[in-house]
Homo-oligomer: A and B are copies of this chain.
């Protein structure tokens, strides 16, 4: 049965082939992100959660935004908690992709981190979603644990990038990586509050110039 057929039938009791667990990234995913409908639900859910917060946003709200019945959303995500966790994995996967992108462009062009804020800025909606995830993670140990996993992976990538650059030791690189991620989080709050990246981007440049002259 195709997912489309569901708009005219009862929701199925069994899971379709394309929603079987898939192992293909750092974060657990229980649905196939390559399925266009799944990725549409995740994108829309991320936007709805970012706008309305997790508590106030229902699966029905997300379905309505997509022109889908709530039962279709339920077809892919058994519960709101399952969707929240999946959206988190989705957002974090994008964050790490942006981080890798920022680091690789830079490692080629400037040997620095200048592209990092810009790279993360492009995923503005997902970036703002982090603020909601910090709040929700304070009450959901699984969200918090996954956030810790993201930070560990991001820290590892950054530390690896920084080690050896102008004589930075592995221990220093680790300290700088932790600090850099905190700066990115703090600037996310600033940019989100101001509705503008201008000050945040300038502050990130100030930070990089301090790091450069250390």
Contacts and interface: CB of A to CB of B under 8 A. Distances in A.
Identical copies in the complex:
2
A50 B139 CA distance: 10
Given A189-B182, A190-B182, A135 B137 contact: no
Interface string A38-52: 000000000000111
Contacts of A202: 175, 178
A53 B203 contact: no
A166 interface: no
Interface stretch (A67-75, A86-94, A100-108, A192-200): A192-200
A144 interface: yes
Contact of A190 (B132, B178, B211): B178
A99 to B, nearest CB: 15
B203 A178 contact: yes
Nearest to A176: B206
Nearest to A144: B193
Contacts of A151: 190, 193
A213 B210 CA distance: 8
A190 B50 CA distance: 20
A53 B139 contact: yes
Contacts of A136: 53
B185 A189 contact: yes
B185 A179 contact: no
Contacts of A185: 185-186, 189-190
Given A183-B183, A186-B184, A203-B182, A192 B55 contact: no
A193 B183 CA distance: 15
A139 to B, nearest CB: 7
Interface string A105-145: 00000000000000000000000100110111111000010
